[in-house]
Amino acid sequence: MAGREVGSLAGNASEPSLLRAAESFEEFYRREYPNMLKLAYALSGNRWAAEEIAQDGFVAAHRKWSKISGYERPGAWLRRVVSNLAVSFSRRRLVEAKALVKLAALRHDPLPPLPEPDEEVWKAVRSLPKQQAQAVALHYILDIPLSEIATTLECGESTVKAHLYRARNTLAERLGSTKEGS
């Protein structure tokens, strides 16, 4: 195992800081987990792997926790990672995706399927360009301000507005809905 030979070193030299990080990280994990799970589910479209994706985001966050915890919005970093992981997952080659599905199925119970009309909505969202899909998911699932979405996607608020505008137009066409309310 890669870490075996340095396990004792990690236990001695890094344990205090590791424990401190884990303590505050735990709160972050509890608060953000449901939202990241929804984000992963919607953007990956995979009810078997959503938890895997969400947890991958948290593992990545934990690796950088000493820095991320100092950010003004550590959640934005996490949302970006999870939304990227989820989009990447949905775009992978079918063979690989199914292999991962199998892997995920070994670890977790799948999330329950969504009602068909709602699954249709998320499927249409996943067919959008990446940043449009992410903007829609962040806006409707997490219900966060445009400024937060802009921070997460590393773009301006006007760009977020444009993403949402175009996404709603496209979705209205593909879903046969009206654009009312947009």
- Residue ranges in 30-69 that form contacts with other proteins under rule CB under 8 A: 30, 33-34, 37-38, 41-42, 47, 51, 55-56, 58-60, 62-64, 67-68
Asked whether position 126 contacts other proteins by CB under 8 A, the answer is no
Site residue total, other proteins (CB under 8 A): 80
CB neighbours (10 Å) of residue 132? 21
What is the nearest approach in angstroms of other proteins to the Cβ of residue 88? Answer: 5
CA distance 63 to 132: 28
Distance from the first to the final alpha carbon of the chain: 53
Phi, psi of 108 (to 5 degrees): -130, 155
Residue choice 23, 44, 69, 95 for contact with other proteins (CB under 8 A): 95
Asked whether position 135 contacts other proteins by CB under 8 A, the answer is no
Residue choice 114, 144, 146, 162 for contact with other proteins (CB under 8 A): 114
Asked whether position 20 contacts other proteins by CB under 8 A, the answer is no
CA distance 53 to 36: 9
CA distance 173 to 168: 9
